[in-house]
Every structure is written in C-alpha cells, then in structure tokens.
C-alpha cells in the first residue's frame, strides 16, 4: 500500500500536461487620461503556455505567449481627437501556477512585448485624421487568475491583466502611457 502512495506522489506531477492553450473572452475597462476618455471594449485572447519546470505539487513555471485583440474603443475628447482606436498586443512572458495538480490553481503572470494601435481615418469633428493609420508601442503586462480543472484535458479560466503601453496617437498633446486593464474568462485545453 505504501508503494502505491509513493508512486502516486511521484507519477501525478509527471503525468501533468506540458502544454496549455487558453481561449478567453473579456472586456477592456474604460479609462480617462488627461482630456481623453477611452471607452471599454471587447477583448479576444489566446494564451499558449509550455511548462518549463515542475516544483512538485507546490508550483509550476510556464513560459507563455499571450495574444489580445480589441477591435474598437471609442474616444471622447476635444473635437480634433482620433474618433476610435483598435489594439493588438503580443506579450511573451512567464506564469507561475500554484498548486498545479489540484482542482483549483491560482497563478500570476508577467511579460512584455509588442503592441499596435490602429487609428480611425477621421477625427471626432469629421475631418480626416492626420495621425498615422497604425503605431507600434512596447507593452508590459502583468496579472493573475485561477484555473479550475474539469478533467485532465479541459479546464476553465478566469483572469485579470493590465497591459501598460505607450499611448495611441489621439492628437492630444502630452499623453505618454496608459493602463489597459482586461478582465476575462474562458477555457483551457491541456495536452502533452
């Protein structure tokens, strides 16, 4: 009997799936910075994670690539501001999952990468937008969440992340950086 318990203690962490694919739907919160109010929007996300290290039943370290697409957020500001903005973020990073073999596993994630903003072709006043159609920015992301295991291959995920980026070109002076907080939920597929 003791040998079975020892086997389970060793084998369960080794049998854990090495790769995860999370698909999430969420919302980017609205926010005001100086004279610009940016509406909330829908966030479509995909997250690929690969387990780099297993620290037994206490924690697991994953390398991950997080992808977020937001099709449109409207702008409220002075009449010469950009009418709306779409965004795309790709942020590789690391995730530490606590209690990875239990049914409920909280985690924290941090990363950094690339973001692109696409601006509307017109301003709020209807005139053509003089800003470039797209602009690239650096992105720093951090956040956390929880995975709930349904079975060996499938789970549910809820998370919150902040994507801290350079600002889109709103045609409003002195805007440098902005927080883009995203709250989302979805599912996770696990495989070897």
Q: Which residues contact 180 (CB under 8 A, 6 or more apart)?
A: 28, 29, 31, 87, 89, 162, 163, 164, 165
How much is the average pLDDT of 39-53?
95
Closest to 139 (Cα-Cα) out of 167, 163, 121 = 163
Q: What is the pTM of this model?
A: 0.85
Note the pLDDT of residue 6.
Answer: 42
Cβ-contact 90, 67 below 8 angstroms? yes
Q: Which fold has domain 2-191?
A: Porin (2.40.160)
Note the pLDDT of residue 1.
Answer: 53
Q: How far apart are the first and last CA of the chain?
A: 29
Percentage of the chain lying above the pLDDT 90 cut: 62
Structure tokens that stand for 82 in this block: 């950009």
How much is the average pLDDT of 167-172?
82
How much is the average pLDDT of 16-45?
86
Q: Please provide the average confidence, as pLDDT, over all residues in the chain.
A: 88
Note the pLDDT of residue 91.
Answer: 97
Q: Which residues contact 1 (CB under 8 A, 6 or more apart)?
A: none
Burial class (CB in 10 A: 0-12, 13-18, 19+), 156: middle
Q: What is the pLDDT of residues 47-94, one digit of tens each?
A: 999 999 998 889 999 999 999 999 998 888 878 888 899 999 999 999
């Amino acid at each position: 009997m003791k040998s079975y318990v020892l086997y389970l203690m060793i084998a369960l962490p080794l049998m854990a799936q090495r790769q995860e694919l999370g698909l999430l739907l969420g919302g980017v919160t609205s926010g005001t910075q100086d004279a610009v109010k940016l509406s909330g929007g829908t966030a479509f996300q995909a997250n690929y994670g690969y387990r780099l290290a297993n620290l037994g039943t206490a924690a697991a370290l994953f390398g991950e690539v997080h992808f977020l697409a937001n099709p449109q957020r409207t702008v409220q500001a002075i009449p010469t501001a950009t009418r709306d903005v779409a965004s795309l973020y790709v942020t590789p990073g690391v995730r530490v999952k606590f209690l990875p073999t239990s049914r409920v596993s909280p985690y924290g994630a941090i990363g950094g990468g690339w973001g692109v903003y696409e601006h509307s072709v017109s301003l709020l006043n209807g005139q053509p937008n003089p800003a470039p159609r797209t602009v690239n920015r650096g992105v720093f992301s951090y956040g956390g969440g929880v995975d709930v295991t349904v079975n060996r291959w499938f789970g549910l995920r809820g998370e919150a992340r902040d994507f801290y980026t350079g600002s889109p070109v709103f045609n409003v002076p002195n805007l440098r950086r902005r927080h883009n907080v995203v709250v989302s939920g979805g599912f996770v597929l696990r495989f070897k």
